[in-house]
């Protein structure tokens, strides 16, 4: 799990709306691909999936005040699409922090 501090509290709904609006368009532009990810707001957090290519959840993001607890599927850590999504997520987390930046608290 990776824990990122946003330096300001964020609601799960705010993060969900931001990811819903921005993740796929940025992915399409960066990868020149028509692959789209499904972003779902569940009781356990925001889940990012792509059922046509991957079995199960690629990323689960739980919001804890000003921290994001991110779990990445261990089955796809070397997959280029998953790496691209993670890079995009990092920039979107910076956006949602209001430009105050983020800090990696824990990874492992």
Q: What is the CATH number of the domain that holds 39?
A: 3.30.310
3-class secondary-structure state, position 65 = coil
What sign has the CA pseudo-torsion 18, 21, 25, 27? positive
Share of the chain above pLDDT 90, in %: 60
- Does the pLDDT at position 85 exceed 90? yes
pLDDT value of position 49: 96
Per-residue pLDDT, averaged over 32-55, amounts to 94
Q: Which pTM value belongs to this model?
A: 0.89
Q: pLDDT at position 96, please?
A: 81
Give CA–CA dist 8/34, Å, rounded: 33
| Domain boundaries, position 55 | 2-107
Total domains in the fold of the chain:
1
Q: How far is CA 56 from each of CA 33, 42, 49, 104, rounded to the nearest angstrom? A: 21, 14, 7, 25
- pLDDT higher than threshold 60 for residue 108: no
CB 59 within 8 A of CB 79: no
pLDDT in tens, 44-75: 999 999 999 999 999 999 998 888 999 999 88
In the prediction, which pLDDT does 77 show? 77
């Amino acid at each position: 799990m990776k824990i990122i501090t946003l330096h300001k509290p964020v609601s799960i709904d705010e993060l969900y709306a931001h990811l819903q609006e921005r993740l796929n368009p940025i992915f399409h532009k960066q990868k020149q691909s028509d692959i789209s990810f499904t972003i779902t707001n569940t009781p356990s957090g925001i889940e990012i999936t792509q059922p046509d290519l991957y079995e199960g959840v690629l990323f689960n993001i739980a919001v804890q005040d000003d921290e994001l607890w991110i779990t990445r599927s261990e089955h796809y850590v070397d997959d280029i699409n998953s790496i691209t999504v993670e890079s995009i997520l990092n920039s979107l987390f910076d956006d949602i922090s209001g430009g105050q930046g983020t800090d990696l608290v824990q990874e492992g």
